[in-house]
Amino acid sequence: MEYQVLARKFRPQNFEEVAGQSHVVKTLRNAIAQGRVAHAFLFSGPRGVGKTSVARILSKALNCEKGPTSTPCNECANCKEITNNSSLDVHEIDGASNRGIDEIRELRENVKFAPASSRYKIYIIDEVHMLTDPAFNALLKTLEEPPAHVIFIFATTESHKIPSTILSRCQCYDFRRIPLREIIANLGLVASKEGITISPIALSWIAEAGDGSMRDSQSIFDQVISFAGLDIKDADVEESLGLAARKYLFNLSDAVLNQKAASCLLILEEAYLAGIDMKYFYQMLLKHFRNLLLVKIAADGSSSFDIAAEQIEKLKNQAQKISRETLQRYLEILIAEEGNFRRSQEPRMKLETIIVKMAYLEPIMPLGEILSTIENLEKKLQSGLPANSGSSARQSSAGESSADVTDGAAHANALPVKEKAHANPPADVSTDLKELRDTLKKYIKKENPILAAKMDSVEIVSCEDACLTIGFPSNFIFLDEIRNEQKEKLEHIAGKFFQKNMTLKIEALSAENGGANGNKARSQASIVNDIKYEAMRQPILQKVMDELPDARVVEIKVNTNKINS
């Protein structure tokens, strides 16, 4: 007897055997049971997911001698003829080789004749999108109002190429890729019936290679049986399908996650010498990092993805030591470089540069963790503890600092500070420079809070006639900004404060300027400035600035009560 490939031998013969298309099967069975069968159907979806098989089962269900029935007997003459593709009333037409207007005109003439021995004359047109536009136009009228004994079933992998005039005359069913677990179950059933010994992990590899297509998976299984016989080892499947690259994936990704660039290069060298195609390996690497990210995000729902069960735990173990943001950055790098890699004349060297880039990428801290760390920093400063107990940053000598970071329209107020009520300017401005300074700062805060945040270190040098001279420590971090960008605003606010036009002068103060009181004031200003400088150098703030390219420091607040005490 002639050998029959597995894809044909185990083709579904009734609706119960159809895998992965429960939504289609349920609708068709209900339509048959209710006597609401349409005159034209369109089955669309990827290759090998059961479109033609369901079309044949539907034909048997409608023409079965015991029907119409949702459970054809597969024993009557009509069912057997349809199964053997020898029925005179069920015509399977290849749309690619019968795509012209002449073939469609012939079909229009034939539909007028009654079925030879069945209830319905059924036309199954595969790859219907290959028909020409004139052929589609010739089919329109017949498709809209066919004889009562005619049913059309169209199948296509590219439904977007079918004219909307045809789509509107059909009931459309979208076939899905078959889930990995259902393909594995089907292959296990095939192996049991054929007396084949094979491990579940090997079946999962074959199912993965099928990419959601049952027919492709069964064809690959046929190939593996031809290679290894009836007792199939995992190594046989790896060799037959060229899966030797799999063992390098976890080793390479582990080296990347641990920032071991040298190990990455050694693993790539070993894979290259083993004869692995670098472009194929890149696609596997891309999919591997995608799986790592999926498992990281949806650890509890990992089984919903098309990932073999035995790999999920390994992926979870590898993903738990790295942040979601870092994994996403790795995947983005691989996706961004895919086009350049595909066009590269030296894929090995290109892959090496990509992997080294990933290995030297600093781990990315989640924004929530950054903000939490800043809050902890504030608490330490409020309690008088050093700002940073680690060796990577200097410790603040006193005070409390915080930063408000703005990224575009989104504002992340990491350390909100409650302010006292704004003070109104006094009717009679005091001549005491310290008191004048404090009153003026309150007024600036009322008029422009952001500008006021940069005035903590200000000192009043003099206020004579209509000229106000203010000073800042020479190393003040905002001195240049106030001199160049904020002077006009300050002059305007000072005019409102003094209720007359004022001229503003801004000086850089040194330790020698002024008397003892001035030295004391400037000493405090210097301490405040040092604290702000220390806050700007905090590693956690630098990480925020690195992660948000458009972010800027709006203000830094210092608890001067700590300094005075």
Once rounded to an integer, what is the mean pLDDT over residues 1-28? 90
Q: What is the pLDDT of residue 165?
A: 92
511 neighbors 331 (Cβ within 8 angstroms): no
Is 6-174's fold the same as 180-241's?
no
Q: What is the pLDDT of residue 527?
A: 64
Once rounded to an integer, what is the mean pLDDT over residues 423-436? 59
The three-point CA angle 90-95-97 to 5° equals 110
The three-point CA angle 558-407-369 to 5° equals 70
The interaxial angle of helices 324-343 and 347-359, nearest 10 deg, is 160
Once rounded to an integer, what is the mean pLDDT over residues 199-218? 90
Q: What is the pLDDT of residue 458?
A: 83
Q: What is the pLDDT of residue 378?
A: 66
Q: What is the pLDDT of residue 413?
A: 37
Once rounded to an integer, what is the mean pLDDT over residues 92-110? 89
Angstrom distances, CA of residue 279 to CA of 250, 327, 517: 17, 21, 74
Q: What is the pLDDT of residue 529?
A: 62
173 neighbors 44 (Cβ within 8 angstroms): yes
Both tokens assigned to 4? 């029959």
User: What are the pLDDT digits (tens) for 430-453?
Assistant: 457 888 888 888 888 888 887 887
Is residue 51 scored above 80 in pLDDT?
yes
Q: What is the pLDDT of residue 32?
A: 94
User: What are the pLDDT digits (tens) for 352-386?
Assistant: 999 999 998 877 766 666 667 777 766 666 665 44
CATH code for residues 180-241: 1.10.8.60
Once rounded to an integer, what is the mean pLDDT over residues 480-491? 84
CA quadruple 248, 250, 251, 252: dihedral sign: positive
Query: In sequence order, which ranges of 229-365 are alpha helices (DSSP H)?
Result: 234-241, 246-257, 261-273, 278-297, 309-319, 324-343, 347-359
Once rounded to an integer, what is the mean pLDDT over residues 397-423? 37
Cα Rg, the chain, nearest whole Å: 38
Is residue 429 scored above 80 in pLDDT?
no
In our burial notation (b when 16+ CB lie closer than 10 A, e otherwise), range 319-346 reads beebeeebbebbbebbeebeeebeebee
Q: What is the pLDDT of residue 408?
A: 37
Q: In this predicted structure, which of 145-149, 248-252, 407-411, 528-532 has the lowest mean pLDDT?
A: 407-411
The three-point CA angle 346-352-357 to 5° equals 130
Is residue 463 scored above 50 in pLDDT?
yes
Q: What is the pLDDT of residue 304?
A: 60
Q: What is the pLDDT of residue 507?
A: 87
Q: What is the pLDDT of residue 416?
A: 40
The pLDDT confidence band at residue 252, using thresholds 50, 70 and 90, is very high
Give φ, ψ of 152 to 5 degrees.
-105, 135
Is residue 62 scored above 60 in pLDDT?
yes
Query: Average model confidence (pLDDT) for the chain?
Result: 81
Q: What is the pLDDT of residue 432?
A: 75
Q: Where are the domains of the chain?
A: 6-174, 180-241, 255-359, 433-564
Higher pLDDT, 477 or 29: 29
Give dist(CA 485, CA 489) in Å, integer.
8
CATH code for residues 255-359: 1.20.272.10
Is residue 392 scored above 60 in pLDDT?
no
Q: Which positions ≥6 away from 130 have C-beta within 8 Å? A: 95, 96, 99
The CATH class given to the 6-174 domain equals: alpha beta
Q: What is the pLDDT of residue 144?
A: 87
The pLDDT confidence band at residue 220, using thresholds 50, 70 and 90, is very high
Multiple choice CATH, 433-564, 3.30.300.180, 3.30.1540.10, 3.40.1160.10, 3.10.129.10: 3.30.300.180
Higher pLDDT, 467 or 387: 467
Q: What is the pLDDT of residue 391?
A: 37
pTM beyond 0.95:
no
Is residue 520 scored above 90 in pLDDT?
no
Higher pLDDT, 59 or 316: 59
DSSP string, 382-395: HTT--S--STTSPP
Tokens 């390098």 locate to 248
